[in-house]
Amino acid sequence: MSNIKTSEGKITFNKTEYVLQNFTNDSGESVSYAIVSDSQVHIGTDKGIILFDLSCTINKETFTDINLFTAALY
Amino acid sequence: MANKKISQLTAKGTALAATDLVEISESDGAGGYVTKSVTGANVKSGLQATLVSATNIKTINSNTILGSGNLVIAGGQIVPAVSNTIGTTITGLTNAISDSFLLPANTFSSNCQIELQWYPSRIVGTSGTTQGLVYINSTNSLTGATLVATGINLSNTGVSNITCRRTIQVRSNVGTLMSTTNQASSDFSTTQPTENLPFNNSSDIYFLFVMNNLTNVLLQSRNVGYRLVGYNL
């Protein structure tokens, strides 16, 4: 199980640091994330849009709800 | 020459001339030999002439290919991946890998242009939509994967296919392409760009073809093919 470590406006995953930032979704809106499915979310970063899912922990904490999972990233 | 060793003969000191004579022992086919002579022209007959660039060996784009070492052909097309199977069928409301391939490390340089085509297919379903998405990752897994492209919605009832295409300009291991979230079959129309896509082929890169089924639990879809071509710059 891979862990995501959060810090001020940043996350670290697989030894790579990502700066969280908005992206433009297909409706033309500037968003910071987009829920893809019940277990997956697209997160906007300085290295593109990254897919995370509930198989990841956040700061070693496990989640079963994608909305709570996403909230814990910010 | 009688009673003299070859090493005792006067050295000619120059290349064999066409009119020179060389002594040979010709097989008689029965285990014996007959002493004869052949000319220098006889000896050289049938041998490859000395290679002279652009005279008896062609050039490549006016560059000689004579000499030792490797000749790197810049700008040549590379075709590292063409599918030869049909992807796994993805059923229900999910976003899952239908097909993938590995782009081995160092197939492309830090500056390159690549063109990707993929062929999403909706195969069952009377309502709802599906999309063929493409991600890249260092492993054959969606977790932590980077979105590369979002194909156009397939919403026709029953079977429908679409050819999707993207061009990625890679400079110093960073790709520029059309917006990765823009639902589109191709990048021939004007769209916002994505200019921060990491594309560092000094390591393996997996291309993941994902079907994203929406709003109908009975939807079935799959990626039926892909092709990647590119050029090192």
- Report the number of distinct structural domains present in chain B: 2
pLDDT at A66 over 90: yes
Whole-number pLDDT of residue B46 = 84
B142 contacts in chain A (CB < 8 Å) = 40, 51, 53
pLDDT at B72 over 80: no
Whole-number pLDDT of residue B145 = 97
B95 contacts in chain A (CB < 8 Å) = 36-37, 40
Regarding whether B46 and B151 lie in a shared domain, the answer is no
In this structure, the strands spanning A3-7 and A57-58 are parallel
Mean pLDDT, residues B92-107 taken together: 94
**A32 shares contact with chain B (CB less than 8 Å):** no
| Structural domain ending residue among the three candidates B36, B66, B96 | B66
Q: What angle do CA B187, B188, B189 make, to 5 degrees?
A: 90
B92 contacts in chain A (CB < 8 Å) = none
Whole-number pLDDT of residue B1 = 55
Mean pLDDT of chain B: 91
At residue B208 the predicted structure's pLDDT band, cuts being 50, 70 and 90, is very high
Regarding whether B196 and B136 lie in a shared domain, the answer is yes
B5 falls within a domain: no
CA dihedral over B195, B201, B202, B207, signed as positive or negative: positive
The span from the CA of B169 to the CA of B229, in Å, is 12
pLDDT 10s digits, B5-61: 888 989 999 999 999 999 899 999 999 999 999 999 999 888 888 899 999 999 877
Is A65 within 8 Å of A38 (Cβ atoms)?
no
- Specify the CATH number for the domain of residue B222: 2.60.120
Regarding whether B98 and B183 lie in a shared domain, the answer is yes
* Enclosing domain of residue B209: 77-232
Asked if B181's CB is within 8 angstroms of A48's CB, the reply is no
pLDDT 10s digits, A1-43: 799 999 989 999 999 999 999 999 888 899 999 999 999 999 9
Regarding whether B216 and B145 lie in a shared domain, the answer is yes
Indicate the pTM of the whole model.
0.77
| Structural domain ending residue among the three candidates B6, B31, B66 | B66
Regarding whether B211 and B188 lie in a shared domain, the answer is yes
Is B130 within 8 Å of B212 (Cβ atoms)?
yes
Q: Where are the beta strands (DSSP E) in B41-105?
A: 77-82, 90-91, 95-103
pLDDT at B71 over 80: no
Residue to test with chain A: of B93, B130, B147, B170, most A Cβ within 10 A: B147
**A63 shares contact with chain B (CB less than 8 Å):** no
B6 falls within a domain: no
B72 falls within a domain: no
B137 residue type, one letter: N
Regarding whether B104 and B39 lie in a shared domain, the answer is no
Is B109 within 8 Å of B199 (Cβ atoms)?
no
Residue to test with chain B: of A26, A56, A73, most B Cβ within 10 A: A26
Regarding whether B34 and B81 lie in a shared domain, the answer is no
The span from the CA of B92 to the CA of B111, in Å, is 40
The span from the CA of B182 to the CA of B133, in Å, is 11
- Polymer length of chain B: 233
Regarding whether B136 and B42 lie in a shared domain, the answer is no
B214 falls within a domain: yes
**A46 shares contact with chain B (CB less than 8 Å):** yes
Mean pLDDT, residues B121-127 taken together: 86
Nearest residue to B209 (alpha-carbon basis) of B90, B78, B77: B90
Nearest residue to B120 (alpha-carbon basis) of B211, B228, B182, B219: B211
Which residues of B make CB contacts under 8 Å with A? 93-95, 135, 138, 142-147, 150, 179-183, 192, 194, 196-198, 212
B88 falls within a domain: yes
Whole-number pLDDT of residue B126 = 81
Whole-number pLDDT of residue B73 = 66
Side-chain-side CA neighbours of residue B223 (13 Å): 29
pLDDT 10s digits, B144-156: 999 999 999 998 8
**ipTM of the complex model:** 0.95
Measure CB to CB from residue A52 to each of B144, B192, B212 and give the nearest one: B144
Asked if A51's CB is within 8 angstroms of B181's CB, the reply is no
**A61 shares contact with chain B (CB less than 8 Å):** no
